[in-house]
Every structure is written in structure tokens, then in C-alpha cells.
Amino acid sequence: MPVELRRVPSEPGYEVSYAGAVHGVLVFLDLQPDATPPEGVEGRWTQSSIAAGLAIDGRPAAEALDGLGFAFALTRAERIHLECPGVMPAGGIDYDDTAQTAVTADEVLGDALTLAHALAWLEIRDERARPLPPEYSPNDLIVAQMVEALSHCQDVRIVVPHGANLPVDETFTLQDAASGHGPLGPIGGHPTVDVAIRAEQPAQTRLRVSPADGQPTVHHVDGSGQEAALIVSLVNPGGAQAPGSPD
């Protein structure tokens, strides 16, 4: 994959450094020519490192998803081969298990992938732009996980603890003691989808509106603190496919 890099000031320990970007993923390459080779290696040795970080705030979700895929590939690759005539040694540089590489923490990258995938699918679904938010809440991530699951399947089963709030919009309406319908909560302020939610075992589960904040909550009938299973169904599923799905 071609990546345009430009010369930048070097960090301590390196003499030559380059940086570039791939759809919001920053790529940094540092080189130290004529470095001391590892034990057992003869000839000229160039010490190098490659690092990547995220700068996807405000980018269209579909574009950010491409960049995040690149970053994810860096974290999973068993071997990376770089070529740059005139800068790198002839034949390029290979990174393997012993290479010094660094990519944004897996947890942060995983969350960003979930958010981008959900927002990109929503963009395809209704053709409304949904750039990635500069920050996200735990509830944003929960909703994104549900949207991502619904992008593959019209019905999703979730398990929630006794007393938990449903991750839904304030306009969500309870139909009876075990079901309701309305929008899921937003992701970073962006609207999501309309759903119907029902208890898998209505005799054991109750949906109630919390007097504190008006939010629907889930309760086990005997107040035992047990978890409850809910079925979340997409309303008006339409024909949009999840990003990366086959035609």
C-alpha cells in the first residue's frame, strides 16, 4: 500500500525520520543508519522503527474505517516490508517479531473500529454524514456495538443486568411491561436506528421508566439481581449492507 511520507524532525536516537497519513491514521518511520548491528549480524545495519497513531476525529466514518483497517493490519501482521528507493537500503526493510513497532493500544483501536463500522453503516443506510466524534462515552460504545450487530442481523439478543438502563433515545416508548419501541440512543450525537425491544422471558422481566431520569430500565420480577435477556429487532431494516459485506 503506497503511503506518502515527508521528512520531519527526528526523535532522540534517530537521524532520519518521516511521517505521513492514511485516512486519518498517522504513520511515523524513524531510521538510524550505520547503527550497531545485533549480535551475529554482519555488515551495515540500519536501526528503524515504525509507529502509527489515530487522528480520525471529524473524518467521515467510511474514510476512517479504511484508515483503521490499515492500522489494524499493522497490529496483526507477522511481517511488514517497506520500500523507498533512495532512502532505504536496496531491497527495502523487513519487520518481523524482533522489529521495534508501535501502534495505538489495541483497546482504543478496537473501540474506534466499532464506532467507525457502526457510523459507516448508518451513513450507507440513510446517506447522512456521520463523522467520528472527538470523544465517546461508554453508552456510545454500547449503542455502536448494537448497531454493528444489527448491521449483520435484523434481530440481536443482548443480556443486561437487573436495574440497567436501556441504551435508547428519550423518545423510546414502552408498549407494555415487557416491550417497547423507538430509536436507540445516539452515537457521538449522531442519530442511529429505530428498534423494537422485548423481553425474551416476559414472565420474568419487566421494563420500567426510571423516575429519576425517565430512562427505561430492566428489572427482574423478584428483584434478585439476575440478568435478563432482551431481543432487539431492527425496524425498517432496508437494504443497506454492512461495510465490507459481499454484494
- List, for residues 122-133, the tens digit of each pLDDT value: 999 988 989 888
pLDDT for residue 112: 86
pLDDT for residue 162: 84
CB 52 within 8 A of CB 24: no
pLDDT for residue 211: 73
**Does residue 246 have a pLDDT over 70?**
no
**Average pLDDT in the chain:** 82
Q: Is the pTM of this model over 0.85?
A: no
Which distant-in-sequence residues (6+ apart) come within 8 Å of 93 by Cβ?
A: 46, 48, 81, 82, 83
Locate the domains of the chain by residue range: 5-108, 139-234
**Does residue 198 have a pLDDT over 80?**
yes
